[in-house]
Amino acid sequence: MNIYAWIGLMGILLLSSVPLFKKSQRSKGNILRFAVTTVIVLGVIFFVEVMGVSFILAIIAGCILLILLDKKTYTKKRMMIYASLTLIIITVLYFLLKHNPEYTLNHLMKHPESSSLFVAMNDEEMITYQSDIPRPLASVVKIIVAIEYAYQIENGDLHKDATVPLETVNRYYIENTDGGAHQKWLEQMEEAGQIENDKVKLHDIAKGMIAFSSNANTDYLIDVLGVESINNRIDQLALKDHDDVYPLVGALLALNEYKKEKKDTDWQKELREMSDENYKKEALIQSEKMKHKKITVAGVDLSVKEQRVWSDRMPKASPATYGRLLHMISREGFPSEISHTLRDLMEWPMEMIPENKEHYRYIGAKGGSTAFIYNQAMYFEDLSGNQMEFVLFMDDLSLWESMMLQFHSNSFIVEMVNNKQFRKKIQSTLQAYAK
């Protein structure tokens, strides 16, 4: 909020407190009115400063609450006025919250410094908007872990049907840090009867990493595969703009431990300026502690703003790099058995959403998000044989922007895949805007 917003909110509090200056006016009603106003003002500050909601929207919502909580509202005349205002507000909210495929386009144009789009159609790169700029991958990085997994399965180093004690995987789980992904995977495994004697198959762990985006499964696989093997695979695939991979949960825990140890210093600045190699080492140290149960963590004591360091320092790569990786996966660019394993992992939308079979031959997908990142990496083939690779990377989001993108982006993707005219419009608009 700017200085004028702060002055305005403080002015509201001051005006609402005026009746309390005189002892004779300190009635229960006036005291309650001031308390309600204070709570609403604090709510506006919270949603604007923490959630990133538009100040105007927060003020409108606050005013509505003040009206609804005021006893004087409920007279016949005021009821008619407020009913009219409510109708207008509902109409505005309908258009604001209606699924809008152009919301994502508008964000791309408004934030070229932090957003990118790569689209290839039938082997031809169609949209390459800021697509060569490496951006934080969030959980999209799990695709490269899946690739190394597929290679080690093919080479016989690992076996899909090998069983793993669930307790071994759960060592890497920290509650309330993955949006419930790990718990959803466990629930699905339980419902499907795929947990036997408290053990699960290795391939189901890999599926949980991609389909459910379990960070615990990811860190377990990074340990089993070997972080150096994964990073060597990046080099072998000539992914020149791809950062090294390291344990995701390990890095979050390193952040938490660093805060404890360096609480009297500017620990966030130190972590931001730490070399990539040292940061990776910190993540690996904490991951090893979890593996050997040398540390037990019920949760992390990190505010949303403090988690920004973890989000910003996630491995980076460009959308173009991942677009070409998706092309290799979907077009048999890897050896046959490796492609088969990868597609079995990536094409979970066909299995988990049966309706997709009515419109597509296949869909492969991996999303990734934090409080500040919203990414989607997908490939498609429709029933007419048209093939597409789609990669959308967005960073530096407010919580409000993140929520709105998640709300609107599916309609954007559907239109991009199925509507030729919409694709051409996005292509021409972004090409013109980029010049």
Answer yes or no: is pLDDT of 166 > 80: yes
Q: Span 238-259, mean pLDDT?
A: 94
Q: Which long-range contacts (CB under 8 A, 24 or more apart) does 396-400 make?
A: 396/111, 396/113, 396/114, 396/372, 397/52, 397/114, 397/371, 397/372, 397/373, 398/51, 398/52, 398/53, 399/50, 399/51, 399/52, 399/53, 399/304, 399/371, 400/51, 400/52, 400/53, 400/54
Q: What's residue 435's pLDDT?
A: 58
Q: pLDDT confidence of 27, banded at 50, 70, 90?
A: confident
Summarize the confidence of residues 401-430 as an average pLDDT. Answer: 92
Cα gap 428→119, rounded to integer Å? 13
- Confidence class of residue 14 from pLDDT cuts 50, 70 and 90? confident
Please state the rounded mean pLDDT for residues 230-257: 96
What is the longest distance spanned by two Cα atoms in the chain?
Answer: 85
Q: Is residue 29 scored above 60 in pLDDT?
A: yes
**What average pLDDT does the segment 246-261 reach?**
92
pLDDT at 302: 86
Cβ atoms of 172 and 249 closer than 8 Å: yes
Top pLDDT among 418 and 83 is at: 418
User: In this predicted model, which residue has the larger pLDDT, 87 or 408?
Assistant: 408
Contacts for 133 with CB less than 8 Å, ≥ 6 apart: 116, 318, 319
Determine how many CB atoms are found less than 10 A away from the CB of residue 114. 18
Residue 121: predicted pLDDT: 95
pLDDT at site 74: 58
**pLDDT, position 94:** 58
Q: What's the pLDDT tens digit per position in 127-159?
A: 999 999 999 999 999 999 999 999 999 999 999
Confidence check: pLDDT of 227 > 70: yes
Predicted local confidence at residue 109, as pLDDT: 94
**What is the per-residue pLDDT for 54?**
66
In the prediction, which pLDDT does 303 show?
85
At 175-211, the pLDDT tens digits run 888 889 999 999 999 999 999 999 999 999 999 999 9
Q: Quote the CA–CA distance of 186 and 200 in Å, as a whole number.
A: 10
Check whether 80 has a pLDDT greater than 70: no
pTM: 0.81
pLDDT, tens digit (0-9, with 9 covering 90-100), for 289-348: 999 987 777 778 888 888 999 999 999 999 999 999 999 999 989 999 999 999 999 999
pLDDT tier at 170, thresholds 50, 70, 90? very high
Average pLDDT, the chain: 89
Whether residue 126 is predicted with pLDDT greater than 60 in this model: the reply is yes
Integer distance in angstroms from the first to the last C-alpha of the chain? 32
Give the pLDDT confidence score for residue 71 in this predicted structure: 61
Q: What is the CA 317 to chain-centroid distance, rounded?
A: 16
Q: What is the pLDDT of residue 10?
A: 82
- Structure-model confidence comparison of residues 176 and 368, the more confident one: 368
pLDDT at 93: 60
Query: Residue 391's pLDDT is what?
Result: 98
Please report, rounded to a whole number, the percentage of residues in the chain having pLDDT higher than 70.
Answer: 91
- Tokens representing residue 51 in the block: 């959630």
What is the average per-residue pLDDT within 390-400? 93
Least reliable range by pLDDT among 41-45, 157-161, 255-259: 41-45
Task: Give yes or no for a contact between 220 and 169, defined as CB atoms under 8 angstroms apart.
Answer: yes
Q: Is the model's pLDDT at 73 over the cut of 60?
A: no
81 pLDDT higher than 70: no
Of 86-90, 172-176, 382-386, the one with minimum mean pLDDT is: 86-90
